[in-house]
Amino acid sequence: MQQRYIDKAPDKFQVSEHSCCGCLQCMVVCAGVWGDEDSLNSAKIKVCRNTGDFYGYSIYFYSDCRSGCKLCAKWCPYGALQVKEV
């Protein structure tokens, strides 16, 4: 299996972690289209609940994200992922 690394955000996205509520809709749609719909770990995006003093969520993308598809941003109901205008 190809090794994946995580990237804070591909250039094509504006990420607003403070707007993320952890619904995981982005991971569900990505895994359903590009991975294994039964495993959220196969998504190319990862949303993690922060621990300690840092309330909220952190959002990461894996290096094999096909950022051209932008489905995660289209399906995010809270505007935490926005496609950058070019």
Rounded-to-integer distance, Cα 54 and Cα 77, Å: 22
Closest contact distance (angstroms) between CB of 59 and ligand SF4 is: 6
Rule CB under 6 A: say whether 25 interacts with ligand SF4. yes
Q: Closest Cα to residue 58, out of 50, 68, 69?
A: 50
Rule CB under 6 A: say whether 9 interacts with ligand SF4. no
Rounded-to-integer distance, Cα 75 and Cα 2, Å: 27
Residues at the site binding ligand SF4, with contacts judged by CB under 6 A: 20-26, 30, 34, 44-45, 47, 59, 61, 65-67, 69-72, 76, 78, 80-81
